[in-house]
A = this chain, B = another copy of it.
Amino acid sequence: MPGLAVEVIDIDDPQDPRVEDFRDLNSVDRRPDLPVLPGGRPGRGLVIAEGVLVAQRMIASRFSAHAFLGVDKRLEELDDDLRDPSLSGVPFFRASAEVMAEIVGFHLNRGVLAVARRPEVLSVSDILETARTVAILEGVNDHENIGSIFRNAAGLGVDAVLFGQGCADPLYRRCVRVSMGHALLVPFAKFDEWPRGLDELRSRDFRLVSMTPDPDAVTLAEAVDAEKVGFLVGAEGPGLTASAMAATDVKARIPMSRGTDSLNVATAAAVAFYERVRSGTMGE
């Protein structure tokens, strides 16, 4: 294939050691996206992009894909993207759907995978240099919810996602997939100290808004009118901890939405992001 930056390598044997990074994607203890835990299990911490769209977003992101595995049809669909000079010499392992299924451990409808190592982590300070609207998560330990929050952040112009205590890893395969690849594109960082790290936002003139179903809270529309805003959301059920909530400037509720199970956490976040966009764009 003239013009491709990647090197296409055919794989016929599912045991081929060159495709090790794509093996046993669903295995609890061998999956390649298991994070490297401090002093704990020796995860490899690889980041897996599934499907054409998410692979494209990985190529466009700060994550450098170091290998692809896919069927011929997907290789063709990615033809334009795989000409990117940054992929020069990166292997595209081409396999049949059957061989691919044996490697990854199940039949993968999406037909293509890309894998990258984790880049340098960003710091909260790095992100706050330019951000005007950020989402701040506490105790959100469901990969699907985190993925949806990244997708909603991207769709509604939120600049970054910041992680407080008790959140799941945003670079798990399921999270990256549900985010439609936006977990690779929207910057994120983790607070070193929680909730004390919120002080940095306050010192940079962010208004910190706790999302809560509390009927005594102000409505969301009354809370977002500030140049910089950080929305805090907690896990469904328990919500934000008292100490996190105490560290914020204002509690805001979504009108009508009563009870802790009334909206999914990613949906509540989307509504908050929308209110922010709405307030900023009414004159557009």
Q: Which residues of A does B touch, CB under 8 Å?
A: 53, 148, 151-152, 154-157, 180, 219-221, 254-258, 261-264, 266-267, 270-271, 274-275, 277-278, 281-282, 284
Contact A284 B255 (CB under 8 A): yes
A257 to chain B, nearest CB (A): 5
> Given the complex, which residues of B lie within 8 Å of A219, measured CB to CB?
278, 281-282, 284
Q: Do B155 and A262 touch (CB < 8 A)? A: yes
Quote the shortest CB–CB distance from A250 to chain B (angstroms).
17
Min CB–CB distance A208 → chain B (angstroms): 21
**What's the Cα separation between A76 and B156 when bound, in Å?**
44
A256 interface neighbour in B221, B277, B282, Cβ under 8 Å: B277
Give A157 to B254 CA distance when docked, in angstroms.
11
28 intermolecular pairs with C-beta atoms under 8 Å apart: A151-B264, A152-B263, A155-B254, A155-B256, A155-B257, A155-B258, A155-B263, A156-B254, A156-B257, A157-B256, A180-B261, A219-B281, A219-B284, A220-B278, A221-B282, A254-B274, A254-B277, A255-B277, A255-B278, A255-B281, A256-B277, A256-B281, A266-B267, A267-B267, A271-B271, A271-B274, A274-B274, A274-B275
Residue of A151, A157, A263 most packed against chain B (CB within 10 A): A263
The answer, among B148, B157, B257, B282, for a CB contact under 8 Å with A264, is B148
A220 to chain B, nearest CB (A): 8
How many angstroms from the CA of A57 to the CA of B222 in the assembled complex? 33
Q: Which chain B residue has the least Cβ–Cβ distance from A271?
A: B274
Give me 11 other A-B pairs in contact (C-beta within 8 A), A255-B277, A263-B270, A267-B270 excluded. Answer: A155-B254, A155-B256, A155-B258, A156-B257, A157-B256, A180-B261, A219-B278, A219-B284, A270-B271, A271-B274, A274-B274
Chain B residue at minimum C-beta to C-beta distance from A155: B262
- Which residue from chain B places its CB closest to the CB of A278 in the assembled complex? B221
Nearest CB of B to A260, in Å = 11
Complex CA–CA separation, A83 to B275 (angstroms) = 43
Q: Which of A148, A152, A264, A267 has the most chain B CB atoms closer than 10 A to its own CB?
A: A267
Q: Which residues from chain B contact A154 at a C-beta distance below 8 Å?
A: 262
Residues of B near A180 (CB, < 8 A) are 261
CA distance A274 to B271 in the complex (A): 7
A53 CA to B260 CA, complexed, in Å: 13
Q: How many Å lie between the Cα of A140 and that of B11 in the bound state?
A: 39
Given the complex of chains A and B, what is the CA–CA distance between A264 and B156 in angstroms?
12
Chain B nearest CB, measured from A280 CB (Å): 8
A156 CB, nearest partner CB in chain B, Å = 5
Cα distance A254–B275 in the bound complex, in angstroms: 11
| Closest 9 pairs (CB-CB, A-B) | A155-B262, A157-B256, A255-B281, A155-B263, A155-B257, A271-B274, A256-B277, A267-B270, A255-B277
